[in-house]
Amino acid sequence: PQQSIMTTSDTAVTTGPDLNDSRSPVDKKLYRQILLPNGLRVILICDTLAMHQEKFFDDDSDDDDDDSDGEDGDEPEGESKATAGTGKGKDADGGDDSAGDDDGDDDDDDDGDEEDGLRDAAAAMVVGVGSMYDPPEAQGLAHFLEHMLFMGTKKYPEDNAYDAFLSKHGGSDNAFTENEYTLYHLCIQQEKLFPALDMFAQFFIAPLMSQDAVEREMNAVESEFQEVKNSDQCRLQQIMIQTSGRKPEDHPFGIFGWGDLKSLRDAPKEKGVDIMDVLRNFYDQYYFASNMSLVVMGAYPLDKLEAEVVKMFSDIPSSPREKQVWPMVLKNEKTWEQVLESPMTTIGLPMVDESLRKVYRMAPVRDRHTLSLTWQMPEQIQHWRSRPCDYLSHLLGHESEGSILSAMKKKAWATACYVGVGDQGIEFASSHSLFTATFSLSEEGMDHWQEVVEAFFVYVGMLRHYCSGTSKLPEWIFEELRLTHAMTYRFSDEQSPETYVETIAERLSPHFRLPADRVLDGHDLLFEHNADAVKDLLDNFITPDKMRVDILSSSFGRAADYEAKKDDGNTEDEPNETTDDGDGDDEKIGEENPDVQATIAKYGPPTVEPIFGASYWEEAIDDDTIQKWKQSSNAQLPPDESSIKLPPKNPFVPEKLELKPLPPDDADHPLLNASIKLCISIGKKKSWLPATVMKYNGPKKSLLCSYEGEDEQWHLLDQELSDLTPEKLIPGFEGTFDNKAIKYRVVALAKDGEGAVMKFGDETDYDVEEGSAFPPIPPPQQPSRLPKLFYNQDGIKMWHLQDRKFKRPIAELRTRLICGNANKTPLHSTCSDLFVNLVSDAMTEIAYLASVSELGSSYYGSDVGITIRVNGFDDKLLTLYKTLLEAILSFRGRSAADGLPPCIKPGRFDALSEVLKRRYANAGLKASRLSSDIRVRCLRPGSRSSHVKSLALETLTEEVFVTTMADMMKSVSVEILYHGNVTLDDAKEACTLISDQIKTTGGTGLSKKKYPTEYVAQIPRNAEPYLVVAPTIDPAAPNTSVEMYFQVGKDDINDRVMTDLLTHMLYEPLYKQLRTDDQFGYTVGCDSRWTNGIMGMYFYVVSSYKSATQITDRIERFLSEHRKELVEMSDATFMEHLVGVAKQKLDMFNSLSEECSSYWTEIRDFRYEWQVHRDEALALRAVTKSKALECYDKWLYPWKVTGSTETEGASQIRNPNRRCLVVQVIGANEEGDAAIGRPEVKDDLPVGEQIDQLINDFHTEVAKQTWGKVY
């Protein structure tokens, strides 16, 4: 590694332990750890592959050449590419779908975004302060401060300067606040890294934190809170905090870390506290260099990265400027042994003893039955080498034969489980770890939850038996885990730069405390087995008398049943206050829900948690039950009648990890895909011509070069392969072709995962970096680099592509069974959903073993059939695939008399039907999800709603299911892609396996003409938008969601790139105007959409205090006002946007999975445009500003343009050419305007049926016109 820059002793940069030895073997990046004089710890990452692609600095070209080569520089159906956006704060999802069977998302969406495979520069800063440090009088302060830092700095005072800069140059940023740290991160195109870093550094040097931004950002925090207020997981977490016995004044666990207007505005005001004084004081206490760590990754030499970081970040104050409320002890200051000890290590465990040995029942928002068992224990990072909690999680959470889950599934009591300690949220801190076992129960399982707990302790007792006696836990269990972890780390995929720097930065946060030399691998590898630590956890912590039980169950009623009571006149509840107000009105609570009445009769009126408003009951677990569980947990083997046992040895651990050989005449070579220049005689003059190396013929030692204009020529390579080492082969390297007749020079090398590179090696490249010139388009790939259709008969098509980019022993095998009757009736759609659940459930024990060995599998149904994906290490991939395919095809040709195939165990049909019923009930509970679902169903008349499918499910029997599936799968066609470390012979073997099974079970017989047709509604051109207004399904939903969709037309590459360009140009100003300036909501944005071959754009806002009409009008006004900005946009600025989009199109994939997804999308959508990103970049090159304005006026602008030039104004006549659909989903939040216009929910009409009728009315209004068959 390069040596660190050292300055004078007063300003010396201290170099830390070398991380390069702990890299994964496939990780070619270079690392350096430094400690700045102010105490800031920094990890610098030189992205060598990206750097070899282009020399950003140090012009080393030969002086005797006239042409200098020196370079200066600074899976649901349908999909679309998302433009770069900006977000701040915690994940708005709140982890709401954590329980395996409670996914409430409808699957009829077109909005699955494909990763763009960005390989930009990135940076992340972690600050060692989080929500646990919030002052009790201003809870949520750390989160609020995170928001405020984005609102301008003294050096860059405009509150959107940073975001605007990133957005303009194809970048993005984010931040989030955890218990003990706050993390900020960004990504940006390589050439703009240092300007972005300078702006970023000012967050931590001189932020404005102006009074003008306070109200805006408090509203933003409030909006974030409203988005998760109905998250069951967040509600349960807050109940755990509420009932822990810890007050915010006494223990940080009692802090409400999200923050809202009440905690940040109202509470401080009531106590006479100036929030700005508290905010600035908090910043001065905890935002100092020794409490921060920075990670920077870029395509620059380490010395250059270090010099820039030292220059930009040295002004961060080295120590606190105010006395800390929670004092941090700094030891060995400004040396590499520097340690900042967290005060949270001494505060004790989070829950008082009196809060344990109790069961807490909560009425959930969603229809679900979830049992959670929680134990608190000392923090576990001290055991980072052995990770005993992970070891126990592996055993207790195993899903194979003999596991707790397997035993519970046999009794139809549970459908999923998760066991372990999370690494974020309240589960993981310097003070504690929370070990949790969570089970998704069936309705029957709810009646037997105590027996589920007992089964858990039977397994614990078995483990204690092996840990305490002469019999020890088999060594192969740990060895399998160690080996799997090692293989996963060794061949880990390259993450996107932003994700990677974020991951490394989190490992530098205070409570991770990994040794400095193990930052890269300390969290990924297992170094030793610590049997004593495992035994200690089992004996002293995971015990019945130290456990709390939480049950979320709709058998207690739903949250809305109880919250309706508060709307009938109750005042805001105080902490731990029940809803019993003494006036005899308790019968009003859920008076039409017998479950609610039964719950109140059994447990009394609920307690209401005051922040989220969740209703719950607290009950001590009786001594007899505790004693029974204790007996089960004694060190002993399970009783003879129990099916519980240790997991079997894993047959899917890969044994062959070598890369398969490539064809000799199309072999690998270090110069492949590189951009070079060749000195060629043209007449009497020699000229340097740019070219790209496309192919290598090993036996002939020849390289195929593609020149500008796509002319190709073979050249004999003079150097031996051994001479072209990575150390020598860098930009600027020179060699010869054709017996030294032609001289060549390397301009840029391709990165792993990248295709052909085209650079010119002159000032043109600099112009591209600066955004003032369009990037060169690489030549088209050779056919051998693209999927090849090698089998096309008997209704089966199979493509193969051997990987030569990522060089890992992994593969992807994707299959789609196109079923002629897939979407024939609502019954067929329902059966398809249930079929996927049944197969997934039947394969759990096998698929789980495979997943432990990094061999994944998944399946999903759609309107055209069933898709199967198997991916991971290729050695045992076909073994798993064969088992899965056999299970899927076993449903073909069965009659009602035959019943379900043998792979479906007794009782599972009813159990999985119940799971599906809950999924349908939970679909669209979030306003934003429902608005997207309504938009998609308006566009896709053939899609079935969850409500319609739930009606079909109500009367579904096994016999009807079997005959319906047989009808659905009677006529099929099969499409397959095998991609990765697999040869053509491997692909032929897979093809034979698949075709044999298809033929054995009934053959194919489905011609393309009979494929299910997915028509898309044609929105007529109209001066006024078509409007669909619906209420939220959840009667207590706090948010209103609006989507404005503008339909463009049938897929056309020119329109496709234009929608991408327009949304790229509009995103940041839209976000700034509606989110930052106007405060319309936390979620604001726009994007392009591709819906079954029809292009469009949509604008979306989610708000808890603006009405749907206000939002719609504001979007229209923005589109009206922004035309002037486009008209006046300079040519240079327009070119920067154009270049930004083009670079995103041309960027590399980060992993085989990303590349395979791109190819699979082309197969799935019947386009087969393998080089679609290159083709789109070519189309972008022809786009002009006048053409962009023309499309804006036609598709988006609300008014008819009457001028003859682009600068002339618009009339007051509405634009008659727009095809616009507005979907408004209106929530029930009465505190602002969000509930204005909410449609009445009729008592005699389910809300799902009401929404279906609205969509049918829309189809009638547009005369049921469609675009016809697109592909």
Confidence of residue 6 (pLDDT cuts 50, 70, 90): very low
**Which amino acid belongs to residue 332?**
N
pLDDT at 1013: 84
Q: Cα-atom radius of gyration of the chain, to the nearest Å?
A: 31
Q: List pLDDT tens digits, range 404-420.
A: 999 999 999 999 999 99
pLDDT at 189: 87
Buried b (16+ CB within 10 A) or exposed e, 700-713: eebbbbbeeeeeee
Distance CA 44, CA 508 (A): 13
pLDDT at 510: 77
Could you tell me what percent of the chain has a pLDDT over 70?
Answer: 89
- Which listed residue (54, 191, 217, 427) is catalytic? 217
pLDDT at 51: 67
**Which amino acid belongs to residue 168?**
K
pLDDT at 112: 35
Q: Are 813 and 870 in contact (CB under 8 A)?
A: yes
- Which listed residue (79, 146, 399, 975) is catalytic? 146
Q: Mean pLDDT, to the nearest integer, of 1045-1052?
A: 95
- E strands, 733-854, in order: 734-737, 742-748, 788-793, 796-802, 810-819
pLDDT at 1007: 87
Two structure tokens written together for 1067: 């995103």
Decide the pairing of beta strands 1026-1031 and 1040-1050: unpaired
Please name which of 589, 587, 584, 583 lies closest in space to residue 566, comparing C-alpha atoms: 589
**Which amino acid belongs to residue 881?**
Y
Query: Token match 């022993």: residue?
Result: 809
Per residue, the 3-state secondary structure of 933-962, as one string, reads HHHHHHHCCCCCCHHHHHHHHHCCCHHHHH
Residue 348's region, left for phi above 0, alpha for psi from -120 to 50, else beta, is: left
Q: Are 868 and 814 in contact (CB under 8 A)?
A: yes
Residue 503's region, left for phi above 0, alpha for psi from -120 to 50, else beta, is: alpha
pLDDT at 401: 94
Residue that wins the pLDDT comparison between 1163 and 513: 1163
pTM assigned to the model: 0.87
Q: Measured between alpha carbons, how far is residue 877 from residues 655, 873, 886, 970, 1146 in Å?
A: 12, 7, 14, 27, 31
Confidence of residue 564 (pLDDT cuts 50, 70, 90): low
Q: Are 781 and 755 in contact (CB under 8 A)?
A: yes
pLDDT at 573: 38
Please name which of 382, 184, 141 lies closest in space to residue 277, comparing C-alpha atoms: 141
Confidence of residue 759 (pLDDT cuts 50, 70, 90): low
Task: Give the SS3 label for residue 746.
Answer: strand
Distance CA 343, CA 347 (A): 7
Query: Among this protein's residues, is 146 annotated catalytic?
Result: yes
Q: Mean pLDDT, to the nearest integer, of 1070-1078?
A: 91
Q: List pLDDT tens digits, range 1221-1260.
A: 999 999 998 888 999 999 998 888 899 999 999 999 999 9
pLDDT at 846: 96
Query: How does the average pLDDT of the chain come out, rounded?
Result: 88
Residue that wins the pLDDT comparison between 1062 and 65: 1062
In the Cβ-directed half-sphere of 1020, how many Cα atoms lie within 13 Å?
13
Interacting residues of 456 by C-beta distance below 8 A, sequence separation 6+? 373, 396, 404, 437
Q: Mean pLDDT, to the nearest integer, of 1033-1050?
A: 94
Could you tell me what percent of the chain has a pLDDT over 90?
Answer: 72
Query: Among this protein's residues, is 1230 annotated catalytic?
Result: no
